């Protein structure tokens, strides 16, 4: 099966109460349109995962990020391809997260993680993100 290598940014910030929140985006096109995910995309030839992620977030959200620790590498079989996705904790360096390709976006606290319909590959990641949001708070 064809393997697609993807990188995704779990962008974290604190709300007014100091609670951690993460930034989720809704896919605006394609087979998985309407599903919620973390912004990012395919790694291009010659790029490291971190370089690819910085490029994708600039393209999709007009924002510069700092890429931190790897959270997990998700391996998931979609009907048409195998997804291998590196997911990193990220922080905003500069920019306003302008939605250039996505349909919608939400900042979610740990308690709100279940309020959106995540893409199938993201479901196991969400559990880990939620656990780490407690440890980081």
Give the interface size with ligand 8DG as a residue count (CB under 6 A): 16
Place of tokens 């308690």: 111
> Contact between 33 and ligand 8DG (CB under 6 A)?
no
Please choose, out of 13-21, 39-47, 91-99, 102-110, the segment that lies near ligand 8DG by the rule CB under 6 A. Answer: 39-47
> Contact between 88 and ligand 8DG (CB under 6 A)?
no
**Which listed residue (92, 108, 119, 126) binds ligand 8DG by CB under 6 A?**
119
> Contact between 49 and ligand 8DG (CB under 6 A)?
no
> Contact between 65 and ligand 8DG (CB under 6 A)?
no
DSSP the chain: --EEEEEEEEEEEE-TTS-EEEEEEE--SSTTTT-EE-SEEEPPTT--HHHHHHHHHHHHHS-EEEEEEEEEEEEEE-SS-EEEEEEEEEEEEE-----SS-SEEEEEEGGGGGGS-B-GGGHHHHHHHHHHHHHH-
* Nearer to ligand 8DG among residue 31 and residue 96 (C-beta): 31
**Which listed residue (20, 61, 102, 122) binds ligand 8DG by CB under 6 A?**
122
Which residue ranges make up the site for ligand 8DG (CB under 6 A)?
Answer: 4, 6, 8, 30, 32, 37-42, 83, 85, 119, 121-122
């Amino acid at each position: 099966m064809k393997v697609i290598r993807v990188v995704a940014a779990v962008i974290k910030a604190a709300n007014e109460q100091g609670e951690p929140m993460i930034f989720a985006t809704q896919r605006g096109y394609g087979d998985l349109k309407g599903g919620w995910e973390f912004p990012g995309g395919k790694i291009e030839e010659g790029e490291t995962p971190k370089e690819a992620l910085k490029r994708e977030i600039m393209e999709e959200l007009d924002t510069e990020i700092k890429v931190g620790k790897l959270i997990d590498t998700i391996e998931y079989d979609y009907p048409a391809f195998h997804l291998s996705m590196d997911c990193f904790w990220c922080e905003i360096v500069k920019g306003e997260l302008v939605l250039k390709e996505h349909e919608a976006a939400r900042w979610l606290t740990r308690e709100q993680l279940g309020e959106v319909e995540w893409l199938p590959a993201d479901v196991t990641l969400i559990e880990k993100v939620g656990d780490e949001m407690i440890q980081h708070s």
